[in-house]
Every structure is written in C-alpha cells, then in structure tokens.
Structure 1
Amino acid sequence: MALVMTVAALAAVSWGISDFLAGLLARRVPVLTVLIGSKVAAMLLALVVIAVRGVPLPHDPRLALSIAAGLIGLPAMGLLYRAMRDGSLVVVAPVAAGAALVPVVWGLLQGERLGFLAGVGVVIGLAGVTMASWPVAAAHRRTHRSAQWCALGAAVGLGVYFVLLHEAGAADQIWATAIARITGGVLALFS
C-alpha cells in the first residue's frame, strides 16, 4: 500500500510539474508546438509501457471510451496551455482544477452519494474557481477573460477526459491510459 501511495504521489507531482513547465514554455513558443510535443512524448512513453508490460490488448468494448478520452484530451490541454500563456497562473490553475468537479457530478448522476468531506471539498473547489474568476481591472479584463474561458473549457474537457478514462479503466487501467495517450499523440501529429 505504501508503494502504491508513493507512486501515486510521484505521478501527481510529475503531472503538476509537467503542466507548469508546459505553461511556461507556451509563453515562449507557440502553444501548438508545446501541445504536439507533450502529446507525442506521452504517446511514446505509453508505447514503451505497453511493450514492457507485455499484456495483450483485452477485447473489451469499454476501451473504446479511452479513444474518446484521447480525442477530448488534446483540445482540453490546448486550452489549458493557451490559458497559461495568456493569463496568470494564479487564476488559471484553480479554474482548471475545477476539472475534478466533473467526475463528482458524474458520480452523483450514477447514484453515488457525496460524503461530508467530499461535499466540503466541492464547496471549497467551487469557491476557489469563483474567487479566481473574480473581475479584475479593465486594463487586463480582455486577456484575463479569454484566459478564464480557456481555463474553464480546459476544466470541462479534462473532467470529461477523467470520466471516460475511469470508465474505460474498468477493462484495464494501463491499456485505457495507453490508448488515450496514443490517440492524443496520433491526433497531435496530424494537427
């Protein structure tokens, strides 16, 4: 259990650092270049993981949802990188983190119950998104609004990505993730 938690923590830190660095890079080079590079790198890593794992692709129709996740993940990440380029990371990060609310809503629609702590987390998340989106001075409003809308679009897209990946992961989590990454990489190459 400790190993799983350690690996999960390392994955979360790696994801956060990579998104932050991609956002900074998007301020120096075109967003599309950053997006294609990140998706192709993720695709190559996924190909290595499935080759090393050596488990054949299961014949499960739920894995098709990971293709949809890959198709949605590409524009969602593009919106996130654009929001990071055009806006303040202090504003963009909490709005984009609202992606976690989409799986919560999905779970509620599927009949799951929200516990007290999860409910508090939802309220805090909504408060953070609201406060980060609060109006600013007129001089920065246009760019700020554009970044907010991009961050909101990224949040919805990434939230849907997480839901699709979760549903596909019921068949095989590694294959579901790999298929989503490969789909995103192939789509990025042909963008």
Structure 2
Amino acid sequence: MTAGAAHAAGLGLAAAAIWGAADFAGGLAARRAGPSLVVLLAHGSSIFLLLLAVFLWHIPLPSEHLASIALLSGAANGLALLCFYEALALDTMGLPAAVAGVLTAVLPVLVSMVQEGRPTLGQMSGFALAVVAIWLIAVTPGGKPHPRGLGLAVLAGIGFGIQLTLLHIAGRGGVVWAMTWSRIAGALVAGAALPFAKRAVRGSSRGLAAVVALAVVAGIFDTGGNVCYTFASLMGRLDIAAVLASLYPAGTILLAALLLRERTTRRQTVGMGLALAAVALIAA
C-alpha cells in the first residue's frame, strides 16, 4: 500500500470515529428537541468556524459549478440528518445506525466502480465484511424496531450516500469552501423545517442549554468527520473512503454502551472483530 493510500485509509477511519461521536450527541439532543432545531444549531455553529477558517487562511472561492454541487451535498445532508436524528430519537440507537451505515456507502461504491474501475478482490471482500460488521455491531436481536424509525433510517442512509458522492466532487475545488457551502445549505433546510417541528425543547432553560451544547458538539464533530472523509476520498478511492467512513455506527454504539448503558452483546463483539478484519482487507 502506498503512503497516500495509507493516509486516505486512516482519514476514512478517523471520519468514522468522529461521525460516531457526532451522531451520538445529535441523537441525544434530538430526544430533547426536534431534529430541525438540532440540525440548525449544529450547522450554524460549524458555519461560523468554517467562515473563520476561510477568513484567516485567505482561501479563494471555488467555481460556481463546484459551489453549486457543495450546496446540493449540504441539502442532501440536511435532509438526511433530519431523518436520522428523528430515527435515533424514536428507537434505540442501534438499528437506525446500522441501516443508515450500510446504505451510506452504496452510492459512492457504485459511482467509484464506474469512474475508477473495480476495486481488488480483497477490497471487495472487505466491503462485504464491513456490511456484516456494521449489522452485527448495531442491531440488537429481539428488539422491536419502530416502523417509522426504520423508514427514516433508510432515507437517511440514501441521503448520506448522495452527500458523500457530491462532497467528493465539490472538494476538488477546496475542502473548506466545499464544507462551508454544504453547511449553509444544510442550515437552510433545517431552518425551513423548523416551523413544522412537532416536538419543542423539553424542560426549562437548563434543558435548552443542554440541547444547544449537544447540538454544537454534534455540528463540530460532524464537520470534522466530513473534512476527514473528503480528504480521504480525494487522496484515495471514493469507495474505500466511503466504506471505511460508514463504520461510524461502531462509535455511536460504543458511546451508547458507555454513557447510556445500552448493553453490548456477543454479536457486537464479533462485529467489532469483523470490522477490524474488513479494515485490513480494504486498506491492503
């Protein structure tokens, strides 16, 4: 494996870890307030940091074409997050995270195969193993999934896949500006959905402060994960970056087990082992 491929694989795994933490924080916030408010706060806080980076580093604007693609990726991400956070709030975090994680990588893998050719047999085996690992890690046997939550997770996974594909293209004109335009579009989507929110913030001003804090953490981590993924997809193959980053449910489930005491099972332990094997095959 070349040094560039190794760095790309490392960034893909970093994206998975960071996204796992972001989804955990965002899912908790969505249990206290509507997903639209959570996404608006999350994207709004990250927009400020991104614009600050653009100003300090004097980053030139990308072309209008790439800026438009970044806006579309952000709109897809905003819609996907609205669905995903609602799914996490309706159900245990496991099943929605598993469904979304598996579906997230599908479109980028297909696009990469068309543009970059088929990956090696070992990498394809790693992709398949990663799907099995995500499912074992995230799905708890015997649970009764919320039908609406399951449907929202499917929509979220499709939306995330569109976002990753478009962000890979927009990132060619500069990752920071691609993320800035993407966050702006996501915030606009969340703001448009806010008047239709059915769930207000629960509790007093202390509850609102908790929602704001969790949403800001989710926004910063989600943006960081997107930056790592975009660099990974530009340095290596799109499909490898997307599949490795799609292991993010592992981080969400581990945090849920540690902080919410959602019990882990032997299946999840096996899934963690398979995830490590998948990483080895994909990165070889």
Give the TM-score normalised by the residue count of structure 1: 0.82
Give the SS at the match of 1:178: helix
Partner residue in 1 for 2:82: 78
Aligned-pair distance for 1:70? 1.1
Partner residue in 1 for 2:235: none
- Alignment RMSD (CA, Å): 2.8
Partner residue in 1 for 2:180: 178
Kept after mapping to 2: 8 A contact 1:70/1:181: yes
Partner residue in 2 for 1:167: 169
Partner residue in 1 for 2:93: 89
Kept after mapping to 2: 8 A contact 1:103/1:163: yes
Kept after mapping to 2: 8 A contact 1:40/1:189: no
The change in CA–CA distance for 1:48 and 1:15 in structure 2 (over 3 A counts) is farther
CA distance in 2, matches of 1:187, 1:78: 9
Identity among equivalent pairs (%)? 26
The change in CA–CA distance for 1:112 and 1:134 in structure 2 (over 3 A counts) is farther
Unaligned residue ranges in structure 2 (runs of 5+): 194-284
The change in CA–CA distance for 1:110 and 1:27 in structure 2 (over 3 A counts) is same
Aligned-pair distance for 1:14? 3.3
Give the TM-score normalised by the residue count of structure 2: 0.57
* Count of aligned pairs between the two proteins: 185
Partner residue in 2 for 1:121: 126
Q: Is structure 2 residue 57 aligned with structure 1 residue 58?
A: no
Equivalences for 1:106-145 in 2 at 5 Å? 106-127=111-132, 140-141=144-145, 143=146, 145=147
Amino acid at match of 2:132: A
Aligned-pair distance for 1:170? 1.5
Partner residue in 1 for 2:19: 15
The change in CA–CA distance for 1:121 and 1:149 in structure 2 (over 3 A counts) is farther
Kept after mapping to 2: 8 A contact 1:57/1:175: yes
CA distance in 2, matches of 1:187, 1:136: 36
CA distance in 1, matches of 2:134, 2:151: 12
Kept after mapping to 1: 8 A contact 2:98/2:135: no
CA distance in 2, matches of 1:11, 1:91: 20
Kept after mapping to 1: 8 A contact 2:69/2:169: yes
Larger mean CA deviation between 52-61 and 176-185 belongs to 52-61
| CA offset digits 1:92-141 (Å, max 9, x no partner) | 2221112023211111132521222321232124435666679956xx35
Match of 2:52 among 8, 33, 48: 48
